[in-house]
Amino acid sequence: MAGAFHQMLAENYGPVVKLQTVFRKNVFYTFDPKAMNHILLKEMSSFPPIRLESGNVVLGNGLLGTAGEEHRKQRKMLNPVFSIAHMRSMMPMFNDIAQKLENTLNKRVQNGPAEIDLLGWMARTALELIGQSGFGYSFDNMEDDVPKHKYSLVIKNLVQVPALGRLSLYNVNFLPLLCKLFSAKTRTLLMNAVPWKAVHEVRDMVTYMHEFSVKVYEEKRRALEEGDEAVMRQLGQGKDILSILMKDNVNAGAEDKLEEDEIIAQFCAALGFLWTWISIRTFIFAAMDTTSNAMSRILQLLTVHPDVQDKMRQEISQARRRAETMRLYPPVAHVFRRAMEDSVVPLSKPVRGVDGRDITEVILPKGTMVDISIINSNRNTDFWGPMRWSGNPKDGFLPFRILYTNAKIPGVYSHLMTFNGGGRSCIGFKFSQLEMKVIISMLVEKFKFSPAPGKDIFWQMSGISSPVVVGGDGHPKLPLLVESAKLAAAAVSPNAEWTSNIGLAHDDSHLDAQIPLTKPQTPPPPLEIQPLIVSGSSKNRVDLVFFSDGYLLEDKDKFMQDALRLAEDVSGNQTFHTVKPLMNFWAAFTASEESGVGTGGKPKKTPYGLYRDGTELRAVYYAHPEVADAACTSLGKQCDFPILLGNDPLYGGLGGRFTVITSSILNGPQILRHELGHSIIPVGEEYDGGFAYFGVNAYHDLHEPVPWAHWIDQKDDEGEMDDIVVNLSNMN
């Protein structure tokens, strides 16, 4: 599918479309948020990836080639190695590789602008990053004219050679049946016997990938057996993902321990059109191909918009958050699922059927193929606003704001489906973000990029979107004209002084895109602060602040009473009573123009705009997060965890960036304790998917910085969180 086809479907038919394959099988094509939530979260076990069988057969028993309990076990073991703390420890390695890339490109442009295939260099850089940080192996010295490592060529060929196109129909329609009818040994014999060159090409590539993965694994295993000295002699010094995974697996309980073939499989899967599973081979594949192509897309867009490139170069030290490229041009445009049983999929809003009737849910018979459009979800004008298509490309570089905050889009990051959603979302999305920000920031600071003369670029969707030259040989490449940004600036303004103030080695603010990188521009509302329970200085406490919403001026005393009641309940309950001496509670009153909480998705005239969406009772949302952020920020160290307290007697709440509760006497205290679990730790949503507690948004080890870290005596303790030893002496 080309991008234009996705756009045509969205513009002409909307978020729900019935398609047919060449074998006249029905396909349910959708980017409706409620349908995606149902398929990827609530009923994910009923909608496994459509190529699960082929992934398991060809590339091993890895994370995305498994389902159910086996999948949960593998994901639980892998989550800690993708924590923010571990990503932060990789920064020196990332910067070192970025420096090597800079040195190589500088040699190419030292005599003036030069045409360079940036896709090739992005692929080499991505492979080296995942090689060193993933399993302590160097594929490339990043010097010019050095032949690419064979693994790099194999991966590129496996995803983008014509072989996969010729095998795709077989993969979707026949391989699942063969998996049920024949054993692995019989399938291998059939593969060797069939006179089909494409099958043999893929077989040989997969054989090499497996043999290489086993080789790396055995080297790591021997080093671990020989002890710490042998581990330290290796490239990653035991800090790479594979070494940590192997050590954690040794110490894991019997129910969580992974088999040797599962660990080897953990690095071998393609992310895209043919395979979507993680395994030693998966990490290489996913981190190299999707990320390198995404970086290439960013660079190509910057050549089309030189004014944006110049502005980005000027402002890059401020690290303003921009996610538009990953929104508008996700490396993987869509993912496939198959209904394993008859299902009823709800829709977020009715669609008009061919008979003219409104449809609020779709019945999917067992076996129906489901095509979830990531690219159309990310461009859905109902939520992102008008004029967001690439017909006017500069629109894609404007700061965005989702219009419908209750969309419930199941993506793991910033309302985007770019990294998929639910229990099968991309486990390494923080790694990918870090890689792109380090490399792109360096490239844009040091170099200027322009379109190569006479070479138009077309992005083809062969699973993972790849650039090709129009009228060329069809092989993926991105030739751009590259020159030194310093020399380019000097040519325009000979007397201008070139300055650079990027400090990648010291700036880790990019590690958490959920935290604003600049102070909020919205002024805080007028706040009247009163202490509720204060145990000591805010410099050495965790401070929780109740902010009023829906309380009129005459309701101020009621708000103070409601806040005190909730603070006393929380601090006195067994959940928090052991750490009560470490906590401060405050009340921050702001008078509202209207009383209560909004309903039907419409907030009232209140500071933070709390409202219910009308579809359920339990969730209470906020319409003005920028105001809440400004209010909390204005209090400095006095506000660690803001709590938005709505003047409403009914059950309801929300966890996350801001804890939201109501003044319900019956349920308010229980809801507050529950939602603080989502906000402080933070634990994932329990209603959709169940095992979301193992998601990438939860704390998994004690090495990750937490607000209470300075009270932990045994900072290297590997025990449970409730076993942390806290020193209560000298706390004033």
Residue ranges of the annotated binding site are: 426
Instruction: Say how far residue 200 (Cα) sits from the centre of its chain.
Output: 35
Instruction: Say how far residue 382 (Cα) sits from the centre of its chain.
Output: 22
8 A C-beta contact, residue 372 and residue 31: yes
Q: How far apart are CA 404 and CA 407, in angstroms?
A: 6
Q: How far apart are CA 690 and CA 69, in angstroms?
A: 12
User: What per-residue string of b and e applies to 8-44 under the rule 16 or more CB within 10 Å gives b?
Assistant: ebbeeebbbbeeeeeeeeeebbbbbbbbbbbbbbbbb
Q: How far apart are CA 300 and CA 296, in angstroms?
A: 6
8 A C-beta contact, residue 100 and residue 94: no
Q: How far apart are CA 99 and CA 93, in angstroms?
A: 10
DSSP string, 369-386: EEEEEHHHHHT-HHHH-S
Q: How far apart are CA 119 and CA 289, in angstroms?
A: 10
- Long-range contact set of residues 108-112: C-beta below 8 Å, sequence gap at least 24: 108/144, 108/482, 109/447, 109/482, 109/483, 109/484, 109/487, 110/484, 112/483, 112/487
Q: How far apart are CA 704 and CA 646, in angstroms?
A: 32
Q: How far apart are CA 39 and CA 52, in angstroms?
A: 16
CA nearest neighbour of 81 among 129, 125, 134: 134
Q: How far apart are CA 477 and CA 467, in angstroms?
A: 6
Secondary structure of the chain: what % helix, strand, coil (to 5)? Answer: 45, 15, 35
HEC per residue, 669-691: HHHHHHHHHHHHCCCCCCCCCCH
User: Please, what is the angle between helix 429-446 and helix 485-492, to 10°?
Assistant: 40
DSSP string, 250-312: HHS-TTTPPPHHHHHHTB---BSSS-B----HHHHHIIIIIHHHHHHHHHHHHHH-HHHHHHH
513 to each of 417, 641, 701, how far by Cα in Å?
A: 15, 18, 20
DSSP string, 155-194: HHHHHHSHHHHHHHHHHHHTHHHHHHHS-HHHHHHHHHHS
CA nearest neighbour of 337 among 600, 607, 35, 121: 35
8 A C-beta contact, residue 221 and residue 249: no
Give the dihedral sign, CA 136/141/142/147.
negative
Instruction: Say how far residue 529 (Cα) sits from the centre of its chain.
Output: 37
8 A C-beta contact, residue 612 and residue 626: no
8 A C-beta contact, residue 336 and residue 369: yes
SS3 state at 488: helix
Q: Look up residue 137 and give its amino acid.
A: Y
Contacts of 304 (CB under 8 A, 6+ apart): 393, 451
DSSP structure class, residue 657: S
Q: Look up residue 562 and give its amino acid.
A: D
> For the CA atoms of the chain, what is the radius of gyration?
27
Would you list which residues are annotated within the binding site for heme?
A: 426
Q: Please name the residue that has the structure tokens 């991966």.
A: 155
